[in-house]
Structure 1
Amino acid sequence: MNTARSYGSAKEDSPLCDVPGCGAKKKLLRHVSFVVCPGHDILMATMLNGVAIMDGALLLIAANKICSQPQTLEHLAAIEIMCLKHIIILQKKVDLVQQDVSLNQHSIIQEHIRIPIPKKDFESPPNMIIIRSFDVNKPGSEHDAMKGSVAGGSILRGVLKMNQIIEIRPGIVVKHENGNIRCTPIYSKVVSLFAAEQNELQFAVPGDLLGLAPRWTLL
């Protein structure tokens, strides 16, 4: 009997089967993370940051609007620029229009495309792309109570573990009077890892969306 189910990221890796009388444990197959990219034109920069870490995309198109809207074309252009090959195009709000209208739009936006499961590299040294960073300290915090900052992003390859020494590039960038630019990498130790819903992790694998709290050291 196939009892595959999806759970939130807070669920343990081997939960008990919920079929009455089964008693067996389920096996974790994969983690899936979703990034919501806004369609409004004023939020294009936010969308581009999200596309940089994606394996595939779900493009939602409203059936009750003329296809294609300018932002739809911009999103498709961004997908092409970022070389994102796997995309599913979905219609929404089909209950608000007549069937012939929905079918006509369907012929315009092409048929649905299935997203294959991407291959992940767990063997290479860990490489993480940082798409944002933020300060988690409360205003007016004492020196001893300060926790530093958190970097958010996704693991591209390898496995990132707690207490691992990492190198952050380009690091500190200084432009000298003669025009030369010097980049000094920052070396740090991972002191905490957490995923969505503030779940603490001991390691992170390719495809995970996570926050990383480093202990900064400049060498």
Structure 2
Amino acid sequence: MHWKETLPDWYVKKYGYQPCVNIGTAGHVDHGKTTLIQAFTGVWTSVHSQELRRGITIRVGYSDAAFYKCKECEPPVGYSTTPKCPNCKKESELSRVVSFVDSPGHESLMANMLSGSALMDGAILVIAANEQVPKPQTREHLLALETLGIKQIVVVQNKVDLISYKEALSNYKDITKFVKGTKALKSPIIPVSAQSGLNIDALIGAIEETIETPQRDESKNAVMHVLRSFDVNKPGAKIKTIKGGVIGGSLTQGVFNIGDEIEIKPGILNEKKKSYEPIQTEIASLGTGAGTVEIVKPGGLVAIGTKLDPSLTRSDS
């Protein structure tokens, strides 16, 4: 069952058919960020051909998940990503729907990580339990989160299934030393195995208690941070069936409706004037993880179908 079919009236009225918060991942390459998101969402966000060949995240990935809380079970076992409690098998209540922003961990892709972190309301700092603490990108990513003002952080001690209890405890102490003097000082540190799904319920509970949904103003003019862009047309598509370019990102304020006129900045570089010219276009369609919608609100990742030449938006161009 898709999460859109479980949304209660209060959620739809407040947030619409979309996630309400963006949570990013941070941490060193191969510490399990993408695997962790797959444990939440069932989606492997590294889908680019080069990512699959190299086994690392290159572009910023994204996917959605719904968090549910059982009324009968005591935390943390009452938290899950399914509407039926895996512990007592009774119906759970929706807590909220979240968008995950999966950032690259490799040092050469730091700029990609920073572009993704600009959308984050909170972050999960993933640290492998079977490696020395801290690794270079672990330190750099935490510094980036602090620089960008992201204070709501949950620390994940991943891959605990690969080491002994004694080793896990030693690694845990190393993590606590590492986060001293940082914005993650008071962050919960949750031991998990993303690969096997171990302790994911406790992690969901920590996320729900630590990362709040921001208050956003829908009455202001809409502002959206663009993260990705796409050409959704298949090769050889007929002229009459070609769709305009699609941009993906998240609104920070206001709302978008189909038919709205929008301006994309900085726009196209004018070589003669040595300046950028903003692009004006019209919204042709709106989409979220729930499918096509009539309106999108702040919070969560959304897709905007435009009337732009799709060559302008191909592959994040």
Q: TM-score range by the shorter chain?
A: 0.7 to 0.9
Quote the residue 1:101 is aligned against.
Answer: 167
Instruction: Give the secondary structure class of the aligned counterpart of 1:104.
Output: helix
Tell me by how many angstroms 1:140 deviates.
3.0
Residue 62 of structure 1 pairs with residue 154 of structure 2: no
Q: Which runs of 5+ in 2 are unaligned?
A: 10-82, 85-91, 177-185, 189-209, 310-317
190, 213, 216: which one pairs with 2:305?
213
> Residues 217 and 253 of structure 2 are in contact (CA less than 8 Å); yes or no, is this contact kept in structure 1?
yes
TM-score when normalising by structure 1: 0.78
Residue 74 of structure 1 pairs with residue 170 of structure 2: no
Q: What is the identity, as a one-letter code, of the residue corresponding to 1:34?
A: F
1:34-73 equivalences in 2 (<5 Å): 34-73=100-139
Tell me by how many angstroms 1:65 deviates.
0.9
Residue 193 of structure 1 pairs with residue 286 of structure 2: yes
Q: What is the identity, as a one-letter code, of the residue corresponding to 2:229?
A: S
Quote the residue 2:220 is aligned against.
Answer: 124
Using the TM superposition, name which of 199-208 and 102-111 deviates more. 102-111
What is the rounded CA distance, in whole Å, between the counterparts of 1:148 and 1:90 in structure 2?
A: 40
Quote the residue 1:23 is aligned against.
Answer: none
> Residues 90 and 112 of structure 1 are in contact (CA less than 8 Å); yes or no, is this contact kept in structure 2?
no
Tell me by how many angstroms 1:35 deviates.
1.4
Deviations 1:161-212 (A, max 9, x none): 2221211122232132xxx434332222211111236x11111111120111
Cα distance 1:30–1:182, how it changes in 2: closer, same or farther (>3 A)?
same
What is the rounded CA distance, in whole Å, between the counterparts of 2:95 and 2:131 in structure 1?
A: 38
What is the rounded CA distance, in whole Å, between the counterparts of 1:34 and 1:209 in structure 2?
A: 8
Tell me by how many angstroms 1:8 deviates.
4.4
CA RMSD across the alignment: 2.7
What is the rounded CA distance, in whole Å, between the counterparts of 2:103 and 2:276 in structure 1?
A: 32
Instruction: Pick the structure with greater CA Rg.
Output: 1
Q: Normalized per residue, which structure has more helix?
A: 2
Cα distance 1:40–1:183, how it changes in 2: closer, same or farther (>3 A)?
closer
Tell me by how many angstroms 1:95 deviates.
2.8
Cα distance 1:30–1:11, how it changes in 2: closer, same or farther (>3 A)?
same
Quote the residue 2:152 is aligned against.
Answer: 86
Instruction: Give the secondary structure class of the aligned counterpart of 2:146.
Output: helix
What is the rounded CA distance, in whole Å, between the counterparts of 2:99 and 2:211 in structure 1?
A: 14
1:25-40 equivalences in 2 (<5 Å): 30-40=96-106
> Residues 128 and 158 of structure 2 are in contact (CA less than 8 Å); yes or no, is this contact kept in structure 1?
yes
Residue 141 of structure 1 pairs with residue 237 of structure 2: yes
Q: Which runs of 5+ in 1 are unaligned?
A: 1-6, 20-25
Using the TM superposition, name which of 119-128 and 59-68 deviates more. 119-128
> Residues 245 and 308 of structure 2 are in contact (CA less than 8 Å); yes or no, is this contact kept in structure 1?
no
What is the rounded CA distance, in whole Å, between the counterparts of 2:93 and 2:221 in structure 1?
A: 26
Q: What is the identity, as a one-letter code, of the residue corresponding to 2:161?
A: D
Percent identity of equivalent pairs: 38
Cα distance 1:9–1:52, how it changes in 2: closer, same or farther (>3 A)?
farther
How many residue pairs get matched?
199
More RCO (CA 8 Å, sep 6+): 2
